[in-house]
Structure 1
């Protein structure tokens, strides 16, 4: 039996196509053109099969990165939790620096920073620590904490120095260089600091202390007593008794600027006497003043 092959249909001429066939033919041509544009790269055609291995590799890399990030965060959480429950998170040593008169025990008592306390309750809390320390001990100024060796804490203290003792009746009250008068009183003053006598005005005393705080340490330690001793000519006059045997008359408002000449004037004096710094700066011996 003879088999007859079907002849391929001849492509119809454009003028022989129906409107619907023309539309279908144009759509097919647009689709083929779009596929050509998508499968070209660097002037070469790329098959979809060639792209699949690269996509799989990129997905594997992305998955590996995500897994690594999650594992890293998990391990970091474990390390952090282990640190917080370990002895390393508690203070093992406290070191105090920057003090002159305050002891390390006084500073630790005022700041409440001691061994065994959590490190994270201390580090980064300098403002709170300084405020609480000043309330407990007014001589403690600013406190700065630093951490080393995981749990060793160093306290750097800005100490408010003692300016002397104020005579109140038969007792003496400590006065700080910031003008604060301590409530506690003592029957005897401590050595190395001046005594403030006859100061009835709080403002006069505050100004005097502020002037005293500006003096060099050598001059401060040479002053034994500062007595408020005004007269008609000078309502701000003070009378100083020095540890080297000299006496000084000065004015409160210019006290710090004038006392800088004291050491040079005293060195030129042959005998002890009086140095007047009220107007200008000059000296004379006690013998001359008694005549």
Structure 2
């Protein structure tokens, strides 16, 4: 009797087991079909214009060199977005003198260059050309001007490249607010670490490459204490002072006679 009950119970379970096997087979079929259609979709995507670069943008660049940055990156619209190396493009863009660091990002159909650029801090006069100098100390000879610029100080008669690099570091520390006060920068023939500056307010300044930024930082306050323009030089060093001189005795170097010394500050 017990054996008959066992046989009946097993027979009753057979339909349920078949239903479970059917469900498992259906799930496997759905899984394989999903994989198949995903692969088909990927192939179609890469073969269609959907994977092509529709637009290349530049952000963080505010002086109009967008076309130059895109050309330098060698990224091309209309080609597959996945066939173009963003790492190589970044390295190429960072070779541009006025770009200190670049970030290039990819979206579904766009490539965006983020290029915060350094400011133009000065011009270097060379062979009747004015070569832009950027905050990272790089010169952009391709942007040289043959007319006298007025948007940044001009460096004249500089021969020592090592000192020039050191000066660029100090100049960048100074900041654009103070740099805008300077018209011309001349190294001394006798001592190339000594500088003569002609300021936009008409004052002549003597200072040094070493500690240039810290020495020149208080210039606006010190200059206001000079009541009126006079013949002389404002020494901007550790302790600023104004030194007047007779222009007839002034020749060659910055100062040939010391007649009047007025402490400032």
Query: Is TM (by shorter chain) over 0.5?
Result: yes
Which residue of the partner structure matches residue 261 of structure 1? 218
Task: Report the CA distance between 1:55 and its aligned residue.
Answer: 4.4
> 1:78–1:189: structure 2 CA closer, same or farther, 3 Å change rule?
farther
> 1:284–1:56: structure 2 CA closer, same or farther, 3 Å change rule?
farther
d(CA) in 2 for partners of 1:121 and 1:190? Answer: 43
Task: Report the CA distance between 1:217 and its aligned residue.
Answer: 1.5
Which residue of the partner structure matches residue 11 of structure 1? none
CA-to-partner distance for each residue in 1:97-124, whole Å, 9 max, x for gaps? 11133421121121123432322234xx
Corresponding residue pairs, total: 241
Which residue of the partner structure matches residue 249 of structure 1? 206
Query: 1:88-99 counterparts in 2 under 5 A?
Result: 88-99=50-61
* Secondary structure of 1:77's aligned partner: helix
d(CA) in 2 for partners of 1:52 and 1:281? Answer: 103
The TM-score with structure 1 as length reference comes to 0.69
Task: Report the CA distance between 1:280 and its aligned residue.
Answer: 1.7
> 1:178–1:93: structure 2 CA closer, same or farther, 3 Å change rule?
same
> 1:120–1:142: structure 2 CA closer, same or farther, 3 Å change rule?
farther
* Ranges in structure 2 where 5+ consecutive residues have no aligned partner: 1-5, 248-257, 261-265
Which residue of the partner structure matches residue 159 of structure 1? 117
The TM-score with structure 2 as length reference comes to 0.75
Question: Of the candidates 39, 44, 59, which is equivalent to residue 21 of structure 2?
Answer: 59
Superposition RMSD on alpha carbons, in Å?
A: 3.2
Task: Answer 1 or 2: which has greater helix percent.
Answer: 1
- Largest Rg, 1 or 2: 1
Query: 1:195-234 counterparts in 2 under 5 A?
Result: 195-229=154-188
d(CA) in 2 for partners of 1:187 and 1:287? Answer: 35
Judge conservation of contact 1:197–1:226 (CA < 8 Å) in 2: yes
> 1:113–1:269: structure 2 CA closer, same or farther, 3 Å change rule?
farther
| Greater RCO, CA 8 A, separation 6+ | 2
Judge conservation of contact 1:248–1:276 (CA < 8 Å) in 2: yes
Which residue of the partner structure matches residue 15 of structure 1? none
* Secondary structure of 2:237's aligned partner: coil
> 1:276–1:57: structure 2 CA closer, same or farther, 3 Å change rule?
farther
Q: In terms of mean alpha carbon deviation, does 220-229 or 52-61 score higher?
A: 52-61
Judge conservation of contact 1:240–1:249 (CA < 8 Å) in 2: yes
Which residue of the partner structure matches residue 129 of structure 1? 89
